[in-house]
């Protein structure tokens, strides 16, 4: 069984199109969907309910309050692991990926047995400050794990159950950046990761939809975005300490055994 889990928040413009595309592209894998609605305030809950009734293999979980992307990602991952699938596919509900490429990543995972197949996004049109943050995430994953990640904060992965369980117990509770944590902890734990370049398309919501970051100016970060970055940096310290410890254990396993004699 393959489970596709995704967080969703106020995606009424594009969520139905994206889910139908996934349903068609992944039909041969007979996927089950786990969708975590982060207390959307638009028509997203109604659209998800209709999709659940029409498709059948769908579990829609609605957060009791808006709890953030990180909480929703981990709730989806925990639910997916509990279903005991062969593979877990993680992606965001904004529809920035093509269903056909997600199907290719699943097939690659099945053929190769690689614990994690990671989608490396290209074609992203982002302002300078988002590009700067993306560069910074690659640096901190390199510092924390000792290994490079081409797209450290990618939301698109195909993960085997054993790898998901291993990572699930390592990610700190309430981590606001679980995708970034997975990048670092997988690499510091010597879990094999295969990177595959995939196209990144704009979110499928219309330009008139709610601005999630409350951004007034196109080329300047909002205060909400800056507060999130600060919160994420503080929370990252716990991930960094664990990742460095795992990386050192990986680099010098004999030294650890000798020190205990």
Q: Which domain holds residue 86?
A: 2-259
The CA dihedral of 212, 134, 18, 213, to the nearest 10 degrees, is 0
Two structure tokens written together for 163: 């790898």
CB-based contact 123:199 (threshold 8 Å): yes
Q: Mind listing the pLDDT tens digit for each residue in 137-164?
A: 999 999 999 999 999 999 999 999 999 9
pTM to 2 decimal places: 0.91
Phi, psi torsion values for 84, nearest 5 degrees? 60, 50
DSSP secondary structure letter of residue 27: G
Domain tally, the chain = 1
Residue 197 has pLDDT above 90, yes or no: yes
CB-based contact 34:4 (threshold 8 Å): yes
Q: Mind listing the pLDDT tens digit for each residue in 207-233?
A: 544 566 677 777 788 888 999 999 999
CATH at 238? 3.90.550.10
Q: What is the mean pLDDT of the chain?
A: 91
Tell me whether strands 116-122 and 193-199 are parallel, antiparallel or unpaired: parallel
Task: Specify the higher pLDDT residue, 79 or 56.
Answer: 79
CA pair distance 28, 231, nearest whole angstrom = 41
Among 28-37, 185-194, 200-209, where is mean pLDDT lowest? 200-209
Residue 125 has pLDDT above 70, yes or no: yes
């Amino acid at each position: 069984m393959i489970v596709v889990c995704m967080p969703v928040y106020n995606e009424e413009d594009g969520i139905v199109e994206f889910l139908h595309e996934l349903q068609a592209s992944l039909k041969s894998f007979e996927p089950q969907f786990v969708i975590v609605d982060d207390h959307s305030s638009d028509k997203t809950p109604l659209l998800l309910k209709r999709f659940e009734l029409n498709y059948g293999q769908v579990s829609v979980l609605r957060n009791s309050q808006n709890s953030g992307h990180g909480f929703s990602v981990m709730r989806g991952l925990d639910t997916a692991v509990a279903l005991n699938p062969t593979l877990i596919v993680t992606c965001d509900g904004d529809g920035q990926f093509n269903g056909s490429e997600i199907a290719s990543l699943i097939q690659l995972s099945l053929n190769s047995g690689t614990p994690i197949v990671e989608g490396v996004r290209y074609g992203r049109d982002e302002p300078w400050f988002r590009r700067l943050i993306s560069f910074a995430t690659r640096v901190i994953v390199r510092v924390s794990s000792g290994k490079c990640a081409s797209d450290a904060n990618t939301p698109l992965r195909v993960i085997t159950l054993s790898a998901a369980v291993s990572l699930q117990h390592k990610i700190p509770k309430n981590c606001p950046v679980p995708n970034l944590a997975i990048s670092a902890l997988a690499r510091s734990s010597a879990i094999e990761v295969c990177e595959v370049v995939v196209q990144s398309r704009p979110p499928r919501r219309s330009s008139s939809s709610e601005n999630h970051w409350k951004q007034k100016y196109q080329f300047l970060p909002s205060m909400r975005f800056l507060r999130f970055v600060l919160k994420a940096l503080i929370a990252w310290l716990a991930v960094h300490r664990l990742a460095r410890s795992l990386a050192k254990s990986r680099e010098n396993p004999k030294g650890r055994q000798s020190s205990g004699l």
